[in-house]
Chains A and B, each alone.
Chain A
Amino acid sequence: MIDAVDLHKVYRLKRHRVTALDGVDLHVESGEIFGVVGQSGAGKSTLLRSVNLLERPDSGTVTVAGEELTSLRGARLRAARRGIGMVHQHFALLSSRTVAGNVGFPLEIAGVDRAARRARVGELLELVGLGDKARAYPSQLSGGQKQRVGIARALASAPQVLLSDEATSALDPATTDSILALLRRLRDELGLTILLITHEMDVIKKICDSAAIMENGVFRESGRVLDLIGTPGSLLARSLFPLPDIGGEDAVVVTYPRSFDEPLMSELTRRFDVDVNILGGGVEKVAGQSVGRLGVQVRGSRRDEALTYLSEHGLLVEEAGK
C-alpha cells in the first residue's frame, strides 16, 4: 500500500548538513500496522512526513495506493493527501472549533455539504466512542479524548492509509493502551493500513505487525515483527525483551517465537543429561502471539546436542556474550 524507494533527504543548516534520510526503503502491505521505532533525530519523523509529502525528499519515490505522490504537485497532491489520514503527537486540533467542527474540517475542505458532513461526523464520533462530545471544545477534553477526535478527523475522508506521528507519546500508559486498541480495532474494521512512528518499544510490541528500527537516517532492521524476533542477533528482540546481563559461563539466550506446549526444558535434562539453570526471562504478547525470551545456563557433556535439539524445535538459540 505504501512503497517508498531509496529516500534521501538532507537539511542544509547554516554551517552544517543534517542527513535525515540516507536511502530508506519502506514497504507497507495493505491492512498492515507498520511501526518505525528510533531515537529522536533518527529521521523517522522526516520519513513519515515524506509519505504524504509534507517533506519532499531530495530523491527517491513514494507511492501510496498505486499513485506516485512524488510526481504530484499543487491541486493533485492536495487531492492525494485527502486519501491519507494523519494523527499528530499533540493532537493538532483547532481550538476555535468544537469537536464536530474539527472532525468535519477535512470534509469542509473537500466541499462536502453541511447535511452530509453532519451525518458523517456523527458516524465518526460514534466510531471512536465520543458520540456525546460533538459540541465540546478541545480544551474541555482529556488527552485521550483529544486524540480520539484527532483519529476521527483523520478518518473523515475515508482514507485507506493512516499515518501516526507519535500519537501516544503525550498520553499516560492507560490512555496509550486504549488509543492503541482503538487503532487496531479500526484497522480490523476498516481495513486501514497504518504507518506509525514511535520511540516506545511498547507500541511496537502491542500493535505492530511489522517494524523497522531506524538509526541515523537508515533502517537498521526491518520486517515482520515475529520474523525479526526469530532472527539471530535481532536488535528488535533485544529491545523488546531486555534481559539482565547474563554473560555467565555456558549461558545461552533462547527465544520462543511462538508459544510452545511441549515442556522443552525438562526434556533437555532428561534426554541429554544436562543441568539447566534459568537466569532470567520474560514472556510478552507480540503481534497477538505469546513470545518469550529466556536466559539459561546449560551445562553437561552433551550441551551441544541439547542446544541443537532446541533449535530443531523452532527455538532460536544464541550463545550469550557473543
Chain B
Amino acid sequence: MIANPTDILFLASAVDAGGPWDALVAFVRDWPNMWPGLWLATQDTVYMVLWATIFSVLFGLPLGVLLVTTDRGGLTPAPVVRAVLSAVVNVGRSLPFIVLMVAVLSLTRFLVGTTLGPTAAIVPLSIGAIPFFARLVETSLREVDREVVEAAHAMGTRKSTIVGKVMLPEALPGLIAGLVMTVVALISYSAMAGAIGGGGLGDLAIREGYQRFNDHYLWATVILLIVIVQAAQSLGDLVVRRLARR
C-alpha cells in the first residue's frame, strides 16, 4: 500500500536514481522541517499585504476619485489640483519599489519606531501601492458611461451622491479587478521588503535560500507565493464575474 505521496517519490527514485528525482524527494522530505518557519513567514506576508491593501484603498480610492473629478469635463474641474495630484502619483509610480523602500526609511522610523519587521514594511508597501491603486481607480471610473452621469445630473443629483451612488457602483467590477492587481503587486513588493528585513516569505527566501544556500527554502517560498497569488486572483475573478453577470 502506498500511504502518502512521499512513498511514490521514494519508489520512483528507487527505479530511476537520477539527480532531479533525488532532489525532489529530498525537498518533499524536508518540508515538515521547514513548515514552522514557512508558516510564520506566510502569516507575516499576509499581515503586511492585508494592512497595506487596507491603506491603499483608504487613500488610493479617494485619490483616484479626485483624479477623475478634478479633470476637465469632470464633476468639479480644477486643473491645478489635478496637475499636482497627478504629478505626486507619477512620482510614486516611477520609483522602483526597492528604491522607494529605502527612500522612506526615515518616515517609517517616525511612524512605526523601527525599520525592521512586518509592521515597518507596511509603510513603504502602502506608499508604493496607493498611487498604483489610484491610477487603476481612475481608469475604471473613466469607463463609466458619461450619459449615465449626465442622467444623474438631469435628475437633480448632488455631486457627492453622483460619486457615491453612480460612479463608484457602476465602476465596481473594474475597481475589484484593480484591487486584485494591487494585492498581487503588494505580494510581490512584500517579498522585496524581505530584502531590507521586512519579514515574510521574501525575507525567508533571501536569508535561508540565498544567503545560506538552502534551495529547499527557496523552492518552498516560491510555491507558497504562487499559491497566495493564485488564491487572491481566483477570489477576485470570482467576485468580478458575479458582479458582471448582472
Contacts and interface: CB of A to CB of B under 8 A. Distances in A.
Interface of A: 52, 54, 75, 77-82, 84, 86, 88-90, 92-98, 105-106, 108-110, 137, 139, 153, 157, 163
Contacts of A82: 155-156
Contacts of A110: 156
In the A-B complex, the 8 residue pairs with the smallest Cβ-Cβ separation, listed nearest first, are A92-B151, A78-B156, A81-B156, A86-B154, A96-B169, A82-B156, A92-B147, A137-B246
Nearest to B246: A137
A81 B154 contact: yes
Contact of B145 (A92, A106, A109, A153): A92
A1 B158 CA distance: 26
B161 interface: yes
B150 A88 contact: yes
A109 B169 contact: no
Interface of B: 145, 147-148, 150-158, 161, 165-166, 169-170, 172, 243, 246
A154 to B, nearest CB: 8
Contact of B154 (A54, A79, A90, A97): A54
A90 B151 CA distance: 11
Contact of B246 (A88, A89, A95): A95
B212 to A, nearest CB: 52
A78 B158 contact: yes
A89 B147 contact: yes
A78 B161 CA distance: 12
Nearest to A75: B158
Given A94-B148, A96-B172, A109-B161, A139 B154 contact: no
B244 to A, nearest CB: 9
Nearest to A97: B169
Contacts of B154: 52, 54, 81, 84, 86, 163
A90 B147 contact: yes
A84 B150 CA distance: 14
7 contacts: A78-B156, A81-B156, A86-B154, A92-B150, A94-B170, A110-B156, A157-B155
Given A82-B155, A90-B147, A105-B152, 19 more contacts: A54-B150, A75-B158, A77-B156, A78-B157, A80-B156, A81-B155, A81-B156, A88-B151, A89-B147, A92-B145, A94-B169, A94-B170, A96-B169, A96-B170, A96-B246, A105-B155, A106-B155, A108-B165, A163-B154
